């Protein structure tokens, strides 16, 4: 079974370590998952301990793993956003909709999507060393300059046309997933038209919480850029990111 991850994007200064950990604790407790047994890098740490310590030492980021999950919070000031990744390291124990029920109305929520971890990783890997390190061929892939001056200029893999790519923009990340949640500010940031999305017949659209739109384009996570799956990803990107998807 493919390992899945949920990535959520918020406006800058609207989530943070303390609130994120509080929400994570609430979800875990509701599903009977213990709050101890987590690791912060190589240090064992319970979530209550993490909440007390990391809220002070690193108020905008953390990396915790345990009980089949990894939680990664980060902030990108240059793009005015924060992101939270929830990775299912084994079989998914808590449905993604349950996570979103607690996070979708949090702060300035912008967008979230579910992805096949491995597929999304390789769709965005541009360093040839990432391929050679695992014996994965890349010679057939398009290449481009990294745009840096000599002597640090080098050729990298061109991911700009990959259906599963993600791209940073001011206030949001451009990405597509089989299941997505779109917050109230998503529409003004991307130029997408909510009414058009609501009447798109090849999407399942619902409103799980007020002002948040859930769209589902496929039953399972995208896992290939080929054939109909690639076409569907590109069509979804065109619908949701009409002003940036072709750049």
184-220: pLDDT as tens digits: 999 999 999 999 999 999 999 999 988 999 999 999 9
Q: Residue 10's pLDDT is what?
A: 98
Who contacts 62 (Cβ-Cβ below 8 Å, separation ≥6)?
A: 17, 20, 21, 40, 50, 54, 71, 72, 73
Quote the CA–CA distance of 196 and 66 in Å, as a whole number: 41
Q: Is the pLDDT of residue 1 over 70?
A: no
Instruction: State whether residue 72 is helix, strand or coil.
Output: strand
Q: pLDDT band for position 244 (50/70/90)? A: confident
- Confidence band (pLDDT; 50, 70, 90) for 245? low
Dist CA 33 CA 198 (whole Å)? 36
- C-alpha–C-alpha distance, residues 167 and 147, integer Å: 17
Per the prediction, the chain carries an average pLDDT of 95
Please count the residues of the chain.
247
Task: Say what percent of the chain tops pLDDT 90.
Answer: 93
């Amino acid at each position: 079974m493919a390992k899945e991850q949920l990535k959520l994007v918020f406006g800058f200064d609207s989530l943070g370590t303390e609130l994120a950990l509080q929400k994570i604790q609430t979800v875990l407790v509701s599903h009977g998952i213990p709050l101890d047994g987590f690791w912060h890098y190589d240090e064992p740490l319970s979530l209550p301990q993490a909440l007390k310590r990391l809220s002070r030492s690193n108020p905008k980021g953390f990396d915790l793993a345990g009980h089949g999950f990894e939680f990664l919070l980060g902030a990108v000031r240059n793009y005015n956003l924060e992101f939270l990744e929830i990775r299912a390291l084994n079989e998914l124990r808590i449905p993604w909709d349950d996570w979103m029920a607690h996070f979708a109305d949090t702060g300035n929520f912008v967008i979230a999507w579910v992805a096949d971890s491995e597929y999304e990783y390789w769709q965005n890997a541009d360093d040839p060393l990432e391929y050679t390190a695992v014996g994965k061929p890349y010679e057939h892939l398009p290449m481009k300059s990294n745009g840096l001056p000599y002597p640090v200029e080098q050729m990298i893999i061109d991911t700009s046309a990959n259906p599963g790519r993600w791209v940073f923009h001011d206030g949001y990340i451009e990405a597509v997933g089989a299941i997505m949640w779109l917050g109230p500010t998503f529409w003004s940031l991307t130029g997408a038209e909510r009414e058009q999305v609501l009447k798109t017949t090849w999407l399942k659209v619902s409103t799980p919480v007020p002002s948040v739109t859930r769209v589902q384009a496929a039953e399972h996570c995208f896992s290939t850029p080929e054939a109909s799956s690639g076409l569907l990803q590109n069509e979804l990107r065109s619908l949701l990111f009409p002003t940036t998807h072709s750049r």
